[in-house]
Amino acid sequence: MALDLFSPASLGSIALKNRMVMAPLTRNRAGEGGVPQALNVTYYEQRATAGLIITEATPISPMAHGYPALPGVYTDAQVAGWKKITDAVHDKGGKIVLQLWHVGRISHPSLLPNGELPVAPSAIKPAGKAFTYQGLVDYVEPRALDVSELPAIVADYVHATQCALAAGFDGVEIHAANGYLLDQFLRDGTNKRTDNYGGSFENRVRLLMEVTKAVVAVAGSDKVGIRISPVNPFNDMHDSNPQALFNYVAETLNQFNLAYLHVLEGGVHGGGIADPFDFVALRKLFKNA
C-alpha cells in the first residue's frame, strides 16, 4: 500500500504530522561562544512544516569542533539559544531533534582549545584541507586517543544530551557518519588500534555502543536515533568490508530499541566513488524505523 507523504508517522515516541524529514545541514551561522542567534531561529522556524527537523551537526564539547561558527550544545548560553529555536519550531507544530557531533580528526588546532591537536582512534592524517577562520589549510596528524580518555568522551555525549533535553528538543541523533569520530572508530581505514576498540567488528563498534547506551539512559531509547554512512568516502574514509561491518552495526543496535536508524546512501560532497552496498539487506536487519 502506498503511503501519503502528508500522513502522520511515529519515530519511537516522536509523533510526526507528516513523513517529510529535513536532513542535517551544517550552516556555520552561530554567534560568539557557539551560541545560536536570531538568524538560526529564523532558519529553523521557516522549515517547521516538515514532520521532523534534524538539526545541523552540533559539537558536544570544545574539543568536538571542526569548522568555524558552529553552534555547540554544552554551555548554558548555548542551551538558551537552542531553546528559542525549539520553541519556534514547536509553535509551528513541528518536531526537532538535535544531532550530537564529535568531529575527531576532521579539525585543526586553530579551532580547538589551547591549539590542541585533533583526536582520533589512530594517528592517521586525513587527505584534504580543514576549513578554518583563516581559510583552507592542510589537515594535521591527529593524536590517537588513549583508552583512558574514552569514558570522558562518552560523558560529553551524556552532558550534551542533557543540554539538548533542557533546550526542549524532542530527541537526539547520534552522528556516527561521514568520517567523523564515531565513524572513524567504525571503519578500518581510520582505526588501526590493537586494544579493545580496534580490530574486530565487536571492538570497532564498542565506542558507538557505549555512547548509545549512555545517551539512551538519559533520553530514553524512544527519543534516540543514529546516523551512519556505510560507504561514504567523504573525509578520506574507507573500509575493507563495509557490508559485513554495517550489517553488524545494524543488528547490534537492535538491542537498544531506538527510535530510528538514519542511513546515508552512497557518498556526499564529491568525496570520491562509493563502494557497492546492499542497503535493502541492511534495512531488513534493523527492527525499527
Summarize pLDDT for 138-161 with one digit per residue, the tens: 999 999 999 999 999 999 999 999
H or E element that contains 155: helix 150-166
CB atoms within 10 A of CB 286: 18
| pLDDT value at 271 more than 90 | no
Q: Give the pLDDT band (50/70/90) at residue 269.
A: low
180 carries an active-site annotation: yes
- What tens digit of pLDDT does each residue of 78-117 get? 999 999 999 999 999 999 999 999 999 999 999 999 999 9
Helix (H, G, I), strand (E, B) or coil at 283: helix
| pLDDT value at 282 more than 90 | yes
Quote the cell numbers at residue 22. Answer: 529535513
Pairing of strands 96-101, 21-22: unpaired
Cα gap 15→223, rounded to integer Å? 11
Share of the chain above pLDDT 70, in %: 98
- What tens digit of pLDDT does each residue of 36-81 get? 999 999 999 999 999 999 999 999 999 999 999 999 999 999 999 9
Measure Cα distances from 274 to 5, 176, 201, 280 in Å: 29, 17, 21, 16
SS3 for 174-192 is: EECCCCCHHHHHHCCCCCC
Residue 267: its pLDDT value, please? Answer: 75
- What tens digit of pLDDT does each residue of 239-256 get? 999 999 999 999 999 999
Choice among 67, 139, 180, 248 that is catalytic = 180
